[in-house]
Structure 1
């Protein structure tokens, strides 16, 4: 599952896209400092848009830590969505790509193969997430489900990219999570092979 993702799109462009979708974005802590990053890894701080209780069509853009400590201290960076309603603390995780790793294709190759997934029809997208308080402060995690057709050749589980018409609904806890947490149509994700070493594994809940 995803333990490394990318965000190289600037915040101004992201804010414009939310405005086009009639989603009001507030920045209660000021405009986040979000440098372009090819690799955002577990425990890094990264931007999310979190829901505002009682305000349909609005969200707060803040920087938060990716993962909180699990029961045994390992970081919870992915969280199973099956059978859960997520009636509070929803968030959109901003990304323009995410990575999966597979065993090396070459017998003598020491590094795992690294694959970049991007959206076929948009420059950037949002991943379904939740956030909570933790000993390190507020933190977020990515929701997961069984892999759909674009990801299954690389991993049996996947994170959940949301289509743009789902963003406002995900920020509204009154909209059932089961109506939104589903695979994208086949061909929605483009896959490019790159190389690298994955970060240390954490806890999956």
Structure 2
């Protein structure tokens, strides 16, 4: 799964990386992005890409209770094209969720050890995500989920699942609304090859979502 990540890049770097023409309203870097928070995402409105904030934890448009979002921070890419919660979103509501590293917890004999995982060659990247709009009476939410897959050889030693990180040259292919059939989108995801990753141990300080400072990413032995 993917339950925490970071975004420390400056705004200009993000605008350049994703070829965005408009500034990002209220952009704030974060050392410890957690479910339930608003996260920076990029959608395509049919004319251009736009960056803005979605709440992490998908609340499908048909849901009766917004609390379902806390159970839907991730979606399994292997079955998302078949599941009622995600099938329509695979066709028409795909997004880029902007990050520059993510955390995962490795089970050891004594404890769960948090690790920060990065792509050595990229300062900022995007998870493959899905989004939806939920409305009930006078309340409106725009929410998202991160697609995951079986861990690659590197990640298997840490966790059995991992987020799908889109290669730079396939980000636009994911977010532009030209793939309409859910199964075709599924095949696209299966064709994504994981990039080279690196990881290092960080303190369990990061376990608490309220902690959001440079100590979250400080290496420990």
Normalised to the residue count of structure 2, the TM-score between the two structures is 0.74
> Which position in structure 1 is the counterpart of 2:14?
14
Structure 1 position 12, deviation (Å):
1.3
The 5 Å alignment of 1:64-103 reads 64-69=54-59, 73-74=67-68, 75=70, 76-83=72-79, 84=81, 86-103=90-107
**In structure 2, which of residues 188, 198, 202 is the aligned counterpart of residue 194 of structure 1?**
202
Q: Does the aligned pair in 2 maintain the 1:81–1:145 contact within 8 Å?
A: yes
The alpha-carbon distance between structure 1 residues 132 and 26, as it changes in their structure 2 partners (threshold 3 A), is farther
The alpha-carbon distance between structure 1 residues 16 and 26, as it changes in their structure 2 partners (threshold 3 A), is closer
**In structure 2, which of residues 188, 193, 196 is the aligned counterpart of residue 179 of structure 1?**
188
**CA distances 1:9-60 after superposition (whole Å, capped 9, x unpaired):** 01211101223xxxxx354xx632222211000011111001223x3xx311
> Which position in structure 1 is the counterpart of 2:213?
none
Secondary structure of 2:141's aligned partner? coil
Distance (whole Å) between structure 1 residues aligned to residue 193 and residue 148 of structure 2: 10
Structure 1 position 5, deviation (Å):
0.4
**CA distances 1:97-136 after superposition (whole Å, capped 9, x unpaired):** 001112245x3x6xx3101111121111110001001356
Count the aligned residue pairs.
Answer: 184
The alpha-carbon distance between structure 1 residues 150 and 52, as it changes in their structure 2 partners (threshold 3 A), is farther
> Which position in structure 2 is the counterpart of 1:119?
119
Post-superposition, which runs of at least 4 consecutive aligned residues in structure 1 deviate over 4 A? 69-72
> Which position in structure 2 is the counterpart of 1:5?
5
Structure 1 position 172, deviation (Å):
2.2
Distance (whole Å) between structure 1 residues aligned to residue 154 and residue 27 of structure 2: 29
Secondary structure of 1:94's aligned partner? strand
User: Mind listing any 5+ residue stretches in structure 2 that lack a counterpart?
Assistant: 82-86, 210-221
Distance (whole Å) between structure 1 residues aligned to residue 113 and residue 169 of structure 2: 33
Q: Does the aligned pair in 2 maintain the 1:64–1:138 contact within 8 Å?
A: yes
1:42 equivalent to 2:63? Answer no
Normalised to the residue count of structure 1, the TM-score between the two structures is 0.80
Q: Does the aligned pair in 1 maintain the 2:58–2:131 contact within 8 Å?
A: no
Q: Which moved more, 1:71-80 or 1:89-98?
A: 71-80
Distance (whole Å) between structure 2 residues aligned to residue 125 and residue 114 of structure 1: 21
User: What is the root-mean-square deviation of aligned Cα atoms in Å?
Assistant: 2.3
Distance (whole Å) between structure 2 residues aligned to residue 78 and residue 159 of structure 1: 8
Which one has a larger percent strand, Structure 1 or Structure 2? 1
